[in-house]
Chain A
Amino acid sequence: MLGRNLIINDFPGSVIDPFLITSLQTGSYNCIAWAYGDDSKWYWPDSFSFWPTSIPKVESIEAFILLFEGIGYQLCHDDLLIQDVEKIAIYADSDGFPTHASKQLKNGYWSSKLGRDFDVSHTIGNMHDGPYGSVRVFMSRSFNKIVG
């Protein structure tokens, strides 16, 4: 009960739509790694995280877009569910710094890793007014374009 109250406090939108905890807590990977499809590393463009050497080590939306373009994603307009297409959302704070990424599930809900806490299943609306600011870009790729 206490944990639930903490989540509601941190994510006010979690009472509007379904917001489910789907994993145990772990600090082994973060939201960027989760959206990227790698749950073995912590991704961030800095000196203490994994970041592909081919992508500029800069905390900018552009660098994060390049990261996901590297595995077949392209910018798209919205979060609408499309068959055989998977989408990700990149969030940024009011200063434009990237803060978070989530990926769309086949049922239309979204999946996020919350920092070093747990994975959650949610809607885009759940994250409003939370610690991540707002969605800055959506990206999509066809399932048949998945780059290993």
Chain B
Amino acid sequence: MTTLFEPEYLEGLMPTAVSSEAETIRQNQILSQVDFLNNSVYTKSLYLKWLESLFDTYKSEWLNETKYFSDNRRIFNNQYYQKIISQGAKFLPFIIQDLRTNDYHWFHALSEITGVNPIQLEHLGNIDQMKNDWLTWAVEYARP
């Protein structure tokens, strides 16, 4: 199962331990909670829904703020587009899914997140062909 939560997520939420015994209890509690969160189907489902909702919010704001722009400098430097990039691989499934149905310019974000750029030079500017290059890459990437 994908690891959703690292112990660091809970570090700041737990009371500070002073004695070594208290620290042992504290660490065990953190590990137990992390173990539960990472293995609970319900928690994972909630987390993925929350993540998708976050992606939808960022996407919606990005589209709204850049809808009239032709220049990718402003489209890609938009604060919400940058927030999507900063989420890294967690957002990759949502971006790929969106790419299948829309013609939004995810190419820079995909390249930043994955570190690759499968777009063929002769396809530059042709949105459908660029999308196909990335969707082909996604099929290969998802193959075990």
Per-residue interface assignment for chain A, residues 78 to 95, with 1 indicating a CB less than 8 Å from any chain B CB and 0 otherwise: 000000000000000000
Chain B residues with CB below 8 A from A46, complex form: 72-73
Is there contact, CB below 8 Å, between A50 and B125? yes
Is there contact, CB below 8 Å, between B68 and A115? yes
The interface on chain B, measured as residues whose beta carbon lies within 8 A of the other chain's beta carbons, has a size of: 22
Is there contact, CB below 8 Å, between A32 and B70? yes
Interface of chain A residues 105 through 142 with chain B (CB within 8 A) = 113-117, 130-132
Is there contact, CB below 8 Å, between B126 and A50? yes
Q: Per a CB cutoff under 8 Å, which of A41, A59, A114 touches B71?
A: A59
Is there contact, CB below 8 Å, between A131 and B68? yes
C-alpha gap A51/B71 in the complex (Å): 12
- The interface size bin for chain A is 20 to 34
Which of A46, A59, A114 has the most chain B CB atoms inside 10 A of its CB?
Answer: A46
C-alpha gap A93/B77 in the complex (Å): 16
Q: Provide the main secondary structure of the chain B interface.
A: loop
Q: Provide the main secondary structure of the chain A interface.
A: loop
Q: Per a CB cutoff under 8 Å, which of A47, A48, A117 touches B68?
A: A117
Q: Taking A41-B126, A48-B124, A50-B124 as contacts, is the C-beta distance between A27 and B104 under 8 angstroms?
A: yes
Per-residue interface assignment for chain B, residues 40 to 79, with 1 indicating a CB less than 8 Å from any chain A CB and 0 otherwise: 0000000000000000000000000011111111000000
Chain A residues with CB below 8 A from B128, complex form: 28
A-B pair count, CB < 8 Å, reads 73
Per-residue interface assignment for chain B, residues 7 to 42, with 1 indicating a CB less than 8 Å from any chain A CB and 0 otherwise: 000000000000000000000000000000000000
C-alpha gap A43/B130 in the complex (Å): 13
A-B contacts besides A97-B71, A116-B103, 13 pairs, CB < 8 Å: A27-B103, A28-B103, A28-B128, A30-B70, A32-B70, A44-B72, A48-B119, A51-B124, A51-B125, A114-B68, A115-B67, A116-B67, A130-B68
Is there contact, CB below 8 Å, between A98 and B127? no
C-alpha gap A99/B71 in the complex (Å): 6
Per-residue interface assignment for chain A, residues 9 to 41, with 1 indicating a CB less than 8 Å from any chain B CB and 0 otherwise: 010000000000000001110111100000011
The answer to whether B100 has its CB under 8 Å from any CB of chain A is: no
Is there contact, CB below 8 Å, between A26 and B103? yes
A selection of 22 A-B contacts at a CB cut-off of 8 Å is: A26-B103, A27-B102, A31-B70, A41-B126, A42-B70, A43-B125, A44-B70, A44-B72, A46-B73, A48-B105, A48-B107, A50-B124, A50-B126, A51-B125, A98-B71, A114-B68, A115-B66, A115-B67, A115-B68, A115-B69, A115-B70, A116-B67
